[in-house]
Structures are given as C-alpha cells and as structure tokens.
Amino acid sequence: MSFVLGMNRFIAVYLSVFRHFFKGRLWWPFVLYALLQFLVLLAVKNYVHPMIYPVLSPIIGLFGERPAQIFSHYPGMFLMLPSVAQWIKLALGVLFEGLAVGLVSVSFLRLFSQDRPTAALAFGKWPSLLIVWTIITAILMAINWFLPNLFSDILYLNPRRQFVFGIWMRLLTVVVYAVFIYAVPSIIVYKNNIGEALKDSLRLFFRHPFFTFFLALVPYLLSVPISYILENVDTIVTKFTPELVFYLVVVGLIIDMVVNLLVTGTVVKFLIEEKAAV
C-alpha cells in the first residue's frame, strides 16, 4: 500500500466511523463498562466508610503494608488513586473489556456490512474475547515492566534520560499494540478462534505496517495528556486539591470510551474491507 493510498484509506476509514459517532447503540457497552469502573472507583474513594472498608481493605492490603497505611489517610489515598485505578481497570478489563469490544464490533459490523449478527454472537464468543484481550494486555504489561527495570540503573536520577525513555516506551507500546490491534474485533468479524485471531492480526499488521501503526497511534494520542497529568499526581495533590485527582481519573474513563470506540470502529471497517478484497 503506497503512502498516498494508505493515507486516503486511513481518512476514509475514520470518516466512516465519524458518520456514526453519535449513535447511542454503538456506545452502550462502553458506557456500561465505564460506569462499572466508576462505581468501583467511587467505592475506593470512600475507602474509609464503615461499610466499604471491611470489603476493600484486604484488596488494598495486596499493595503492601506501607501503601495500605498511606491509602488509609488523607491525602495519601489520592496519591495512590491513579495506580489503584489502573489495577481496577485491569481486573474489570479481564472480565468485561473484551466483551464490550465484541458487542460494539457487532454493532459496527451491522452498520458497515450486509451481515446481521446479534449481541448473542459476542456473548457466545466471550471466552475467546476474554482470553485474547488478556494475552494482549499481559504482553503490554510485561514490556512496560521488564524494560524500565532493565534500564533502571541507567535512568536513575537522570530526568532527561527518563523523559526520552518514557517517549520511546510509549511508542513501543503503540507498536506492540498495533501488532495485535485486529485480534479482538476479528473474533466477531471473521468469527475467528483464539489462534486465528492472533494469526490474522499478525498477518494484517505485517501486510499494512504503517497504516496499522497510525490506526493505533491516533486514538492513543487522545489519552496521552490525561495520562501525563496523572503521572505527576504529586504536583496535583500539593499545588491544587487532592480531590482533583479523582475527577481527572473519571475524565480518563471518558477518554477511554472514545478511544475504544474509535479503535473498534476503524478496525471493524478495515477488516470488512480486507475480507471483501479477498
């Protein structure tokens, strides 16, 4: 695919999604998923409430004795809230994010093709959606854990190197995610099993590497500002108000909905076009 053709196709795919951007039936799985995260996050924010503390304290204790003590006091809770929110997203994501992507893929498939699948297809594929989503997430987590630890001595007390390394890690994350970006929606569009989903995603990535990279990069860029802000949670707590952290995490949930919808819609549209071209 030449650069010009690839760019034209990229724009056309996005325009196709934007035409349906405000249709409520596309959003409901991601809205329910975000609402579930918000309710758990709200419970965490009220951690010391007599009815919540006995339930959540064993879970918070998994972070270690010292973090658990910090989390029990103001404003320590808000210093840890972004990290806790990420673990909440991971735990709920294993169970529900793959399903949510599958349900939205069904809706986009009905919009972009002659197929008329129902939500039953996504629920029937739930185990495959769950496993593939978990595999991809595990790979991304491993990379983002292993490499920073590998280069920790070089990066220690060197803000400039840390900044550059952070940029490279973000780009690497996008590249690795791009390799597997087609896997989960292909379970719905192509009715793939787990192995086929991963294989097809690899095949499509290496056939259209630059197109796929930008397909992953553009939505990801929407999440960078809020991610950067929450990485500097100390500044928020000391220079503003600790409660602001909670609202920023909620904004992150809303941005995640938009990112997920854009990725799912553009990928489904592309998969349909690829299937028709065969």
**Res 131: pLDDT:** 97
**Res 90: pLDDT:** 93
Whether 139 shows a pLDDT value over 80: the answer reads yes
**Res 46: pLDDT:** 86
Whether 39 shows a pLDDT value over 70: the answer reads yes
Quickly state the pLDDT bin for 40 (edges 50, 70, 90).
very high
Helix, strand, coil percent values for the chain (each to nearest 5)? 85, 0, 15
Whether 75 shows a pLDDT value over 70: the answer reads yes
**Res 200: pLDDT:** 96
Whether 142 shows a pLDDT value over 90: the answer reads yes
Mean pLDDT of 88-103: 95
Question: Which ranges of the chain would DSSP assign to H, the alpha helix?
Answer: 3-18, 24-45, 53-60, 65-71, 76-112, 119-124, 126-150, 152-155, 159-179, 183-189, 194-207, 209-231, 233-239, 243-277
Whether 95 shows a pLDDT value over 90: the answer reads yes
Average pLDDT, the chain: 91
> Which one-letter amino acid corresponds to residue 137?
T
Count Cβ neighbours within 10 Å for each residue of 79-109 and write b for 16 or more, e otherwise.
bbbbebbeebbeebbeebbbbbbbbbbbbbb
Whether 64 shows a pLDDT value over 80: the answer reads no
Taking a C-beta distance cutoff of 8 angstroms, is the pair 242, 74 a contact?
yes
Mean pLDDT of 199-225: 94
**Res 62: pLDDT:** 77
**Res 57: pLDDT:** 82
**Res 93: pLDDT:** 95
> In the block, which residue shows the tokens 């590998």?
150
The predicted-structure confidence for 151-181, as pLDDT tens digits, reads as follows 888 888 778 888 888 899 999 999 999 999 9
Give Dmax (Cα) for the chain: 62
Whether 197 shows a pLDDT value over 80: the answer reads yes
**Res 247: pLDDT:** 95
Whether 63 shows a pLDDT value over 80: the answer reads no
Ordered by start, the domain boundaries in the chain are 3-49+78-277
Mean pLDDT of 147-151: 88
The predicted-structure confidence for 217-272, as pLDDT tens digits, reads as follows 999 999 999 998 998 898 898 888 889 999 999 999 999 999 999 999 999 999 99
Q: Which two tokens stand for residue 113?
A: 């093709």
- The model's pTM: 0.92
Mean pLDDT of 14-27: 93
**Choice between 58 and 278, residue whose per-residue pLDDT is larger:** 58
**Peptide bond just before 75 cis, omega within 30 deg:** yes
Q: Which two tokens stand for residue 169?
A: 């890690």
Mean pLDDT of 78-102: 92
Q: How far apart are the first and last CA of the chain?
A: 15
**Choice between 152 and 4, residue whose per-residue pLDDT is larger:** 152
Quickly state the pLDDT bin for 68 (edges 50, 70, 90).
confident
**Res 278: pLDDT:** 61
